[in-house]
Structure 1
Amino acid sequence: MFDSAAESGDSEDEWFFESIQRYEDLLMYDVQGVISCAVFRNDNRLLLASSREHVHEVWELSVPEKLTAGPGAGLTKDRDFRLITAGYTVDRTKEMLVMHSNVVLSGPKGVSMYSIPSSNDPTDVISHICDIRNDTVDAALTQSETSVYSATDLSNLTDFNLNSNKVSLLSSLPNQTNGKGNNDALNVSNLVHRSGNLYIGLSERGMTYVYELGTGKVIREISAPSNASGNWKTDVSHDEKFVALSNSVGTVSVYDVRKLSKAVFEIKKEVQDQTASSHQVHFSPSGNLLSLSGYNKFIEVFDISDPSDGTGVFCHDGHRGKEVSSILTHLWHPSQSKLVFSADDTGTLQAWRFK
């Protein structure tokens, strides 16, 4: 599908020469640990969760001005990542999100909130504020302006209100679904919040529930063409026009929410380890580009508005070497076009903008 130097076995020198023609920007940064997840604090700050042996941390990095200044900026002073602040966490982090000057983490010991210091804070350390809940393991997270939502299955989806600091259970949700009596069918893989709706992806089924927060009701069910085995993930375009469903077996389907009878984009990936759950699917901020990772060493980008032959727009093959086995996370920059950040299981962070 892609003309990849990594697939053809070219040397490192040949790959770097070839990459000049394919990339507008390409930066690499080594982190002391394996990066489990990342999230943007704003356009110029990136938070990373990393682990090495028994040490677990959150880092705040500055995004190089080279990546955000634009093509007409000329030479820029800041051309590399820079560590701003960091802090220890009690365990590894599965998911992370930013709420103003705080960061919320989920992991084996529940969901916790940490404080990100301001530029004039003499402590300069990300520190623990409170535990939001300790009854879950590796909960999925999402957020609205005033709340943090977390869940491991449909029976324990909760709303942590930032104004009142109270946690409430969305207890009516399991009764509105058709997964009753099958605990596996209720497990939540990930949560997405869009315009007052929660999109709830189920791990063991190719299904996403659309839960309207204002009414407390499930208003739509979005299902993949078949209940294939494997671990399912979901994402929703920022304009809520498209929903993507992907599983660890390699099935990827995109649906137009205005017409759910047939997928507008489909692709089948070859997967070596079909039990792995590190695959990710993300829409770009514009909504027309879809990125996939976790199936191999590549991050692949597709244009769902032109799905005629399933040919990809771009394939990032910069995570190279025998020691690299998979991509653990990737995310689009919130405002820069075609700029993606990715991390592999050796602790290498890469930022790349394709032409």
Structure 2
Amino acid sequence: MDITDEIEFDDILDDWFIESLKTYKDLHVYQLEHPTRVIEWTSGKTVCVAGCRSTKNEILELHLPLKLFADENKGLCAERDFKVVHGGFTDGPVHCLRHVPGTRCVVTNDGLSSKLQVWDLGGDDSDVIRRTGGVEGRGVAERGSRIAAGLSSDPRVLHGAQTGDVRLTDLTSGQSLYKLETDTAEPLSSLQFVSDSVFLACCCSGNIYVADSRTSAAPQPSPLPPPLPPAAAARRDGVLWCADASADRSRPDPAGRGVARLSSSGEVLVSDLRNPGGAVCRAQLDVQTDRCGQDDITVSWAPALDDCIAVSGFSGAVQIYVTSAWRAELTEARPLFEHRGHAVSSQHADGPPVRVSSHVWHPDRPRTLLSAATDGSVHVWDWVHPTAAD
């Protein structure tokens, strides 16, 4: 980078910093030694991250900056940085990681096989994260297994690489408690519990299975709703899909919750969980689609905000959209808010443009998110609603 480029980069960074004073309530930055594809809450103030290189990687539990949680006099809070509270090493990459609620246990997959690794995060008497066991997978897993932890404190996980491989396994005994009965072998993009026994399995094709682990009845796949207008069908050729179901805490029953399906072409379909084959609304997002795949993209519902989703993986930004403004016909949507911090801060770096590799909403704080990028940066940010920033 020559002196002219450095001056231009500094100007861009300064402009964004000044802008951030109005658009963020909080913004904290942390730098990992290597990038992570996973961010998983282990409590309301701690997250687990892990490297995704092909060789040995760190697996860390980080405490978020204490300043983030100071209700008043934030300027008087001395602790403004992330803190490593527990750490360890894994011999391979970590492409999927899930925390088992009510325990100090996480389960990982390397993205290369169907096997799972089980880890003890440590406690007050130890700061070391140790591997304590494993779970054998089933079938072929070219892209690794997807994992979902049960919503109860029972130490069990749902896992599988394809629809015909999905199992519910008890981590204490290693016993298989349930098998998804289907003759298909569609590659999975995600698994997610929506209640203690009901789960959602999204296929890369966009097909969705809603299954109940209490019954052996085979669920029927819900395919993608037809494109509107029909001319938009060409946009779906060769695209891959991921999905997320909303976490409506006012509904103990999952019925009536929304399911958002996101494609690698930037299309979002929102369905009712009672009718996942239909479309309540849909939109074409304002995203870059020329260099992303299904493993890159993520869509997630806000747990404490109505009708909000976050989308990442298309670029170095995380975008927030409000689905309540969308209609049944396909329309172009603009984000309500866009976190560009990863892209802005890495513009001076050589190599390919930075891309957001993972993001998660805080479970209780409505507008607080964490995001990680391919340059190893991790941000926690609390965005200000645009109308409140005026």
- Shorter-chain TM-score tier: 0.7 to 0.9
Aligned residue for 1:66, secondary structure, equals: helix
- Output the CA distance in 2 between the equivalents of 1:213 and 1:169: 6
Once the 2 structures are TM-superposed, how far is the Cα of residue 166 of structure 1 from its aligned partner? 1.5
Q: Which amino acid aligns with 1:39?
A: E
Aligned twin of 1:86: 87
TM-score using structure 1 length: 0.87
Aligned twin of 2:302: 284
Q: Gaps spanning 5+ residues in structure 1: where?
A: 1-7
Instruction: Summarize the Cα distance change of 1:259–1:231 in structure 2 as closer, same or farther, 3 Å threshold.
Output: closer
| 1:140 and 2:146 correspond | yes
| 1:272 and 2:290 correspond | yes
Residue pair 1:206, 1:228 contacting (<8 A) in 2 also: no
Residue pair 1:248, 1:277 contacting (<8 A) in 2 also: no
Once the 2 structures are TM-superposed, how far is the Cα of residue 71 of structure 1 from its aligned partner? 5.3
Q: Which amino acid aligns with 1:262?
A: A
Once the 2 structures are TM-superposed, how far is the Cα of residue 68 of structure 1 from its aligned partner? 2.4
Deviations for 1:127-185, whole angstroms, at most 9, x for unmatched residues?
11111115564200001122201000012111111353323561x5214xxxx4xx4xx
Deviations for 1:4-56, whole angstroms, at most 9, x for unmatched residues?
xxxx9861111101111111011110001111211010001110011456221
TM-score using structure 2 length: 0.80
Instruction: Summarize the Cα distance change of 1:53–1:97 in structure 2 as closer, same or farther, 3 Å threshold.
Output: closer
Identify which of 107, 112, 116 aligns with 2:121: 116
Aligned residue for 1:223, secondary structure, equals: coil
| 1:246 and 2:247 correspond | no
Once the 2 structures are TM-superposed, how far is the Cα of residue 215 of structure 1 from its aligned partner? 1.6
| 1:310 and 2:310 correspond | no
Once the 2 structures are TM-superposed, how far is the Cα of residue 265 of structure 1 from its aligned partner? 3.6
- Output the CA distance in 2 between the equivalents of 1:224 and 1:106: 28
Once the 2 structures are TM-superposed, how far is the Cα of residue 232 of structure 1 from its aligned partner? 1.1
Aligned twin of 1:187: 187
Count of matched residue pairs: 336
Higher helix share: 2
Q: Which amino acid aligns with 2:340?
A: D
Q: Which amino acid aligns with 2:149?
A: Q
Higher strand share: 1
Aligned residue for 1:11, secondary structure, equals: helix
Once the 2 structures are TM-superposed, how far is the Cα of residue 199 of structure 1 from its aligned partner? 0.2
Once the 2 structures are TM-superposed, how far is the Cα of residue 223 of structure 1 from its aligned partner? 3.3
**CA RMSD across the alignment:** 2.3
Once the 2 structures are TM-superposed, how far is the Cα of residue 294 of structure 1 from its aligned partner? 0.5
- Output the CA distance in 1 between the equivalents of 2:292 and 2:320: 21
Residue pair 1:41, 1:98 contacting (<8 A) in 2 also: yes
Aligned residue for 1:271, secondary structure, equals: coil
- Output the CA distance in 1 between the equivalents of 2:121 and 2:273: 37
Deviations for 1:59-92, whole angstroms, at most 9, x for unmatched residues?
0111112222335766324221001111111210
Matched residues, percent identical?
Answer: 21
Q: Gaps spanning 5+ residues in structure 2: where?
A: 1-7, 227-235, 249-253, 385-390
Identify which of 313, 334, 348 aligns with 2:363: 334
Instruction: Summarize the Cα distance change of 1:81–1:275 in structure 2 as closer, same or farther, 3 Å threshold.
Output: closer
Aligned twin of 1:3: none
Q: How does 1:1-355 map to 2 (within 5 A)?
A: 11-52=12-53, 54-70=55-71, 75-99=76-100, 100-107=103-110, 108-109=112-113, 110-121=115-126, 124-133=127-136, 135=138, 137=141, 138-144=144-150, 145=152, 146=154, 147-168=156-177, 170=179, 173-175=181-183, 180=184, 183=185, 186-195=186-195, 196-203=197-204, 205-219=205-219, 221-226=221-226, 228-239=237-248, 240=254, 241-258=257-274, 261-268=278-285, 269-275=287-293, 277-286=295-304, 287-307=306-326, 310-320=333-343, 321-322=346-347, 323=349, 324-355=353-384
